[in-house]
């Protein structure tokens, strides 16, 4: 498919044998070699969301669509798998930072974080704190120079030190549950929101669908 040499590029460290297995799974599910936004949402059982939640998922999709052609190809797919399975906390936090920095200007402002928490609330239901309270809490804790913007450095340093904040971040989009959905194939309608409730199991286990 002409992807073989790019699979070996620097930041992708999924072993060849595993890569092949993922390739087969991906091509079985998406014979064209491309996953559309609609298919991404279908895979995760995330149709019919309200506008805010929907925009949040669009943004997630965009962070995986690295060449910005509107599709997730196999290389982008395996990079996402690699991020979820293998990368360290710092790399994951970089991904979340990119997710929250919706205008892409290299810092997260209060409105961006507020929008994100409102989307999370729309996805996960009412939380203990309101989106406004969450936003203020995060800025109070990790906006070190108090300028109302979170730089990548403030974000990573702050999150690494604070388990409670990290949990909030993980809740904003649970990567490990996404992986489980990918491994097990499309979700039946009855389990529409199963990816949202994490039980922490199954990470790193690659299961092939039976033919």
Q: How far is the CB of 52 from Ca ion (least distance, A)?
A: 17
Q: Which is nearer to Ca ion, 145 or 210 (CB)?
A: 145
Q: How far is the CB of 111 from Ca ion (least distance, A)?
A: 9
Q: Which two tokens stand for residue 3?
A: 């992807």
Q: Which two tokens stand for residue 120?
A: 């999370």
Kindly list the distances between the CA atom of residue 36 and the CA atoms of 7, 40, 74, 116, 122, in Å, as whole numbers in the listed order.
Answer: 20, 6, 12, 23, 23
Q: How far is the CB of 188 from Ca ion (least distance, A)?
A: 28
Q: How far is the CB of 122 from Ca ion (least distance, A)?
A: 21
Q: Which is nearer to Ca ion, 40 or 180 (CB)?
A: 40
Q: Which is nearer to Ca ion, 77 or 134 (CB)?
A: 77
Among 3, 34, 35, 15, residue whose Cα is nearest residue 85: 15
List the beta strands (DSSP E) in 2-141.
Answer: 34-35, 72-73, 107-109
Q: Which is nearer to Ca ion, 62 or 198 (CB)?
A: 62
In three-state secondary structure terms, 86 is coil
Q: Which residues bind Ca ion (CB under 5 A)?
A: 65, 67, 69, 71, 101, 103, 105, 143, 145, 147, 149
């Amino acid at each position: 498919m002409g992807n073989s040499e790019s699979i070996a590029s620097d930041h992708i460290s999924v072993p060849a044998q595993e890569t092949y297995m993922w390739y087969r799974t991906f091509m079985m599910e998406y014979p064209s070699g491309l996953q559309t936004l609609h298919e991404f949402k279908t895979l995760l059982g995330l149709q019919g969301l309200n506008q805010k939640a929907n925009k949040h998922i669009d943004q997630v999709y965009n962070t995986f669509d690295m060449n910005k052609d509107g599709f997730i190809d196999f290389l982008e797919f395996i990079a996402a798998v690699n991020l979820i399975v293998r990368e360290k906390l710092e790399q994951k936090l970089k991904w979340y930072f990119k997710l929250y920095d919706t205008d892409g200007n290299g810092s997260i402002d209060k409105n961006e974080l507020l929008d994100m928490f409102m989307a999370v609330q729309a996805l996960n239901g009412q939380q203990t704190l309101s989106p406004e309270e969450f936003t203020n809490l995060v800025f109070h804790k990790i906006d070190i120079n108090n300028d109302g913007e979170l730089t990548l450095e403030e974000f990573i340093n702050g999150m690494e030190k604070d388990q409670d904040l990290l949990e909030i971040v993980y809740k904003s989009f649970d990567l490990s549950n996404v992986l489980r959905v990918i491994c097990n194939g499309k979700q039946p309608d009855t389990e529409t929101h199963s990816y949202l409730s994490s039980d922490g199991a199954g990470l790193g286990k690659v299961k092939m669908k039976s033919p």
